[in-house]
């Protein structure tokens, strides 16, 4: 009991002095920390009722504002629940959720900038606990993470974004802007609902801050999610731009020196690289074998590169559909992207090689392409109309320069730059 009373006193004092370090130490969400250990041992013997009344009484005598009293009370109730093995994770999340609500009650005050570090800690914890609760009950109608994002993070975000007190980031609530945005993005991607992303992106751009002012870790994370989002939209150039930045700014990995490699940063870099490689392949830019090897990605991408260079459609399909890698491509959500885009590039390669074999004469016989196509994809029903359509598509997208003569069934390529380098071709957005 006494320990609780002194805890309350310390918190109220920290609050009155706006001591941001102290408040973070006190309202600790790290269940392995000593303070939480000590608190939980005391709380174990207390009823919820007695926790409430103790805190209430002390807050009254110390003249603490009501939202602060609520925060302390809810924090303590959450803490003991989080330490018990017998707790239902969903319930623990709900308690933290209540606590978060009380915290926001304090945070909305116009002079609450000093609480921003605590905001970041508690937001991270909220999503963390929500994720744990969802793992326990994955088929629940409403996932806890989406509750966290919709109810709490969005409110916090609004508070942060409307703080107009200072232009200096470290004195403004906007310091937490990208941290919160990144947490929210993480949730949206987890629940595979990216519909609200454009709104958030628009809101961020109106906030009057620059991403470059923030810690690199937040920049990299943010760019990663932006890259993933643009990949969904099939805007490959934007994807590449963001992911390339993110990858370049990851701590360098050296697989031959176990000391320098941190598992978390390695996994993050690899994740960024997977999508960067996928986007760049579709733009005709190939990674080196060393790079793929360094991140253990050879088994997935090497064959694809070979197929595209040769124009071997059969190899492309066989590899993507092979049981060893199919599941992986589907899980990473790049199966359809690669299957469709690389097919186009394969055809471009194929037609170009046929043209080269004919000593670069401007006329390419379409019937020849039909035979080649039938051989490669082992489909007898593949006919001249399929070839004409594919060729028209390549011409339309700019991969080949020339025209088709319908009556003569030939493709006539232009004298200069007939097969422009793939990476130089403008890739149109699919959904305008």
Partner 1 sequence: MSNSPEPKTAGEEETRRREKRQRRFEDSRSDTVPKKSKPVYTAPVFNSDVIDWDEYTIVGTSTQLEKNYLRLTSAPDPATVRPVRVLQKTLDLLKEKWRKDQNYAYICDQFKSVRQDLTVQRIKSEFTVTVYEIHARIALEKGDLGEYNQCQTQLKQLYEYNLQGHVMEFTAYRILYLLHTRNPSDIIAMLASLTPAQKHDPAVKHALKVRTALASSNYHALFKLYISAPNMGGYLMDQFVERERVEAMKMICKAYRPNIEVSFLRSELGFIDDLECTGFLKAIGVVPCLNQDSGPGKKRYQFLDTKAALPYVLEAGKKYQTVDIKGQI
Distance CA 39, CA 36 (A): 5
Residue 92 backbone dihedrals phi, psi, to 5 degrees: -60, -45
Min CB(237)–partner 1 separation in Å: 16
| Beta carbon nearer to partner 1, 315 or 392 | 392
Contact by Cβ (8 Å): 18, 12: no
Scored b (16 or more CB within 10 A) or e, 198-230 reads eebeeebeebebeeeebeebbbbbbbbbbbbbb
The SS3 assignment for 403 reads strand
| Beta carbon nearer to partner 1, 222 or 341 | 341
Contact by Cβ (8 Å): 51, 43: yes
What are 110's two structure tokens? Answer: 């116009």
Min CB(232)–partner 1 separation in Å: 5
Binding site for partner 1 (CB under 8 A): 192-195, 232-234, 330, 333, 336, 340, 343-344, 385-386, 388-393, 395-397, 403-406, 430-432
| Beta carbon nearer to partner 1, 310 or 392 | 392
- List all residues 6 or more positions away from 282 whose beta carbon is below 8 Å from its beta carbon: 236, 337, 338, 341, 342, 345, 427
Min CB(330)–partner 1 separation in Å: 7
Reference 268, options 221, 236, 304, 300; nearest CA is 221
Reference 278, options 224, 236, 308, 321; nearest CA is 236
| Beta carbon nearer to partner 1, 179 or 224 | 224
In DSSP notation, 256-292 reads: T-TTT--HHHHHHHHHHHHHHHHHHHHTT----HHHH
Distance CA 180, CA 366 (A): 56
| Beta carbon nearer to partner 1, 124 or 403 | 403
Min CB(236)–partner 1 separation in Å: 13
| Beta carbon nearer to partner 1, 195 or 206 | 195
Min CB(197)–partner 1 separation in Å: 9
- List all residues 6 or more positions away from 120 whose beta carbon is below 8 Å from its beta carbon: 176, 179, 180
Distance CA 419, CA 409 (A): 19
Min CB(339)–partner 1 separation in Å: 8
| Beta carbon nearer to partner 1, 193 or 424 | 193
Min CB(29)–partner 1 separation in Å: 32
* Half-sphere CA count of 350, side-chain side, radius 13 A: 29
| Beta carbon nearer to partner 1, 48 or 340 | 340
Distance CA 280, CA 271 (A): 14
Min CB(234)–partner 1 separation in Å: 7
| Beta carbon nearer to partner 1, 192 or 290 | 192
Min CB(403)–partner 1 separation in Å: 4
């Amino acid at each position: 009991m006494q320990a609780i009373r002194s805890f309350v006193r310390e918190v109220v004092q920290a609050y009155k002095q706006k001591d941001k370090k102290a408040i973070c130490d006190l309202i600790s969400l790290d269940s392995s920390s000593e303070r939480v250990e000590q608190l939980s041992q005391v709380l174990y013997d207390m009823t919820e009722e007695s926790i409430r009344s103790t805190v209430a009484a002390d807050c009254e005598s110390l003249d603490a504002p009501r939202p602060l009293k609520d925060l302390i009370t809810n924090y303590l109730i959450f803490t003991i629940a989080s330490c018990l093995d017998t707790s239902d994770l969903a319930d623990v999340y709900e308690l933290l959720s209540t606590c978060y609500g009380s915290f926001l009650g304090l945070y909305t005050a116009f002079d609450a900038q000093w609480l921003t570090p605590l905001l970041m800690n508690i937001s991270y914890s909220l999503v963390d606990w929500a994720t744990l609760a969802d793992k326990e009950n994955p088929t629940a109608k409403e996932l806890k993470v989406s509750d966290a994002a919709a109810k709490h993070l969005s409110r916090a975000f609004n508070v942060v974004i409307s703080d107009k007190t200072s232009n200096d980031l470290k004195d403004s609530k906007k310091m937490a802007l990208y941290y919160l945005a990144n947490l929210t993005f993480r949730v949206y991607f987890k629940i595979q609902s990216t519909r609200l992303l454009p709104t958030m992106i628009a809101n961020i751009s109106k906030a009057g801050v620059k991403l470059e002012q923030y810690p690199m870790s937040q920049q990299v994370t943010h760019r990663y999610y932006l890259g993933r989002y643009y990949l969904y939209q099939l805007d490959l150039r934007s994807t590449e731009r963001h992911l390339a930045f993110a990858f370049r700014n990851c701590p360098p990995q050296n697989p031959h020196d176990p000391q320098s490699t941190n598992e978390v940063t390695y996994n993050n870099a690899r994740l960024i690289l997977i999508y960067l490689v996928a986007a760049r392949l579709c733009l005709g830019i190939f990674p080196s074998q060393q790079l793929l090897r360094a991140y253990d990605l050879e088994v997935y991408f090497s064959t694809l590169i070979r197929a595209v260079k040769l124009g071997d459609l059969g190899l492309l399909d066989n590899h993507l559909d092979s049981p060893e890698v199919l599941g992986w491509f589907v899980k990473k959500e790049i199966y359809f992207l690669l299957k469709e885009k690389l097919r186009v590039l394969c055809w471009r390669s194929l037609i170009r090689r046929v043209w080269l074999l004919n000593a670069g004469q401007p006329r390419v016989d379409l019937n020849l392409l039909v035979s080649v196509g039938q051989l490669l994809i082992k489909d007898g029903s593949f006919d001249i109309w399929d070839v004409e359509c594919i060729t028209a598509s390549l011409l339309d997208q700019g991969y080949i320069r020339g025209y088709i003569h319908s009556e003569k069934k030939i493709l006539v390529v232009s004298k200069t730059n007939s097969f422009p380098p793939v990476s130089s071709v403008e890739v149109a957005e699919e959904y305008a």
